Amino acid sequence: MNMLTVIFMVFIAGAFFLFLRAEMCKAKGRKLAEKKPAFSEKNLEEFSEDRQVYYSKRLAEMISCRTVSKKGEFHSEEFYKLRSVISDLFPEVTKKAEVLYFGEDCYLYKFIGREPEKNVMLMSHHDVVPAEGEWSYPPFSGQIAEGCIWGRGTVDTKTPLFAEFSALEELLEKGWIPPCNVYLVSSHNEEIAGDGVPLVLQWLKEQKITFEWILDEGGAVIDAPMGGMDCKCAMLAVHEKGRYTIRVKAAQAAGHGSLMKQLKSPAVRIAGLITKIEKKQPFIRKIHPEVLAMFESLAPYMKLPMRLVFANMWCFGGLLKRLIPALNAQAGSMLGTTCTFKNLRTAENGDCMTEVFFRCVKEEDLKTDLKTFQKIAEEFQVEVDEVIENEYHRPASMQSSGYQFIKSCVEEEFGYAACAPFILPAGTDARHFSELSDAVIRFAPIDINNQQYASVHDKNENIEMESVVRAVAFYKTVLRKL
């Protein structure tokens, strides 16, 4: 047997082994149900098709409140209008909850349970970003058209808030008593990273209250996030990237004119730093445990050859670490630290400054990445002038009972969707509570398509009427199973 034959046989054996693992991976996946209308899946009058219209009209009342967040502004009349709408729509909730307000309008509703030592928390936020551009329907009308409710906040995040209140209201109407303490927290200034939830955190810490789990926005039921998949995917964010902001400065050289000519201008040096960082992408890249779990959870629902690759991360992980950033920017951002430059300006004395905004997955990697950044900055005679922000919060434990409980509820209510954890590149209020629970999960139970996903902070935000039904059903399942 010659060497070529041996190599060929080894190659065939290796390929067969990889293929076998891909087929075994497929067998590990849940058998997904066919997606059907929510009202056809429930043998209850409350989930009739008429219920879609009922929920949609009630949600529209909340959408019509122009609770827009802008730094330095608070339009109390619109926020207090929403308070009144919530009180009218949900009388049982209003009557049976202990309600506290923090800051200008951050809500905390507490429902006392039979087991007073155990606590869980539902979250949302009721502020929205401004509605700009030309919309198909008025952005604060809550208009029902084309099977959807249209308006700012339908996705981000008045629908989840409405569904939380609706689930509680309907259960309380039937005499439900929570098995444990249930908290509902909604911020009035999440969109501007305001003080609402930090004030709640301060109060909870003073009361020494911790939580079995905390559930906020972040992920959703979305169209397949990568090629080679046909099913919807319920994405549960178990971590969000940390924030670290610095100001760097290139100083105007002082001294003899001939020496100054040898040094490029401050603006050119800052530009050189930005260009090199953007081109080189010098920061640590890893397949973090949360990312590995995401790929392993989605792999059973992929077609070949994608399934063969992601079912064999031990073999292809190194290659994917290099390819993913080029194929999908959002997925690439889950692999490590990213940075963006903002607020570039030149002072009257000629110094040039810019802010550098880092988002990190792991705090220890950020420390190394900052050293790498400083070394490159020194090449361009750029120095760190000030640390503006430094914020990092631990990820949720995917082994915790809280995460497993939420995951089981997602799989039950969204049986047609693959369920997977992921790292959220954006920010949520939930990050502030990570020291109070090992299961801070970011998942809004709304089934949205790519257009609806893209409408967040953009024009024509909308959600299907059927998705509102499903969201209410999800929260009722969560509360019933406590």
CATH code of the domain containing 192: 3.40.630.10
Residues 425 and 330 in one domain: no
Residues 233 and 248 in one domain: no
In this prediction, residue 45 carries a pLDDT of 60
* Count of domains forming the chain: 2
In this prediction, residue 151 carries a pLDDT of 98
Quick one: average pLDDT of 150-173?
Answer: 98
In this prediction, residue 4 carries a pLDDT of 67
70: its two tokens: 């802008």
Out of 326, 361, 391, pick the residue that ends a domain: 391
Taking CB atoms within 8 Å and a gap of at least 24, the contacts of 307-313 are: 307/22, 307/25, 307/26, 307/228, 308/18, 308/19, 308/21, 308/22, 310/25, 311/18, 311/21, 311/22, 311/24, 311/25, 311/26, 312/18, 312/21, 312/22, 313/287
The CATH number of the domain holding residue 303 is 3.30.70.360
Out of 338, 369, 391, pick the residue that ends a domain: 391
Residues 312 and 219 in one domain: no
β-strand partners of 62: none
**Domain extent for 130:** 38-239+395-480
Contact 67, 82 (CB under 8 A): yes
- Classify residue 11: in a domain, yes or no: no
Residues 291 and 215 in one domain: no
Quick one: average pLDDT of 421-445?
Answer: 96
pLDDT band at 255 (very low <50, low <70, confident <90, very high): very low
Quick one: average pLDDT of 399-428?
Answer: 96
Residues 114 and 179 in one domain: yes
- Classify residue 19: in a domain, yes or no: no
Residues 380 and 463 in one domain: no
Residues 235 and 253 in one domain: no
CA 321 to chain centre: 22
- Classify residue 77: in a domain, yes or no: yes
β-strand partners of 390: 244
Contact 246, 387 (CB under 8 A): yes
**Prediction pTM value:** 0.92
Quick one: average pLDDT of 69-88?
Answer: 95
Q: What is the pLDDT of residues 434-480, one digit of tens each?
A: 999 999 999 999 999 999 999 999 999 999 999 999 999 999 999 99
β-strand partners of 115: 180
Quick one: average pLDDT of 359-366?
Answer: 95
Contact 124, 217 (CB under 8 A): yes
Residues 296 and 330 in one domain: yes
Out of 369, 391, 413, pick the residue that ends a domain: 391
Phi, psi for 201 (deg, rounded to 5): -55, -45
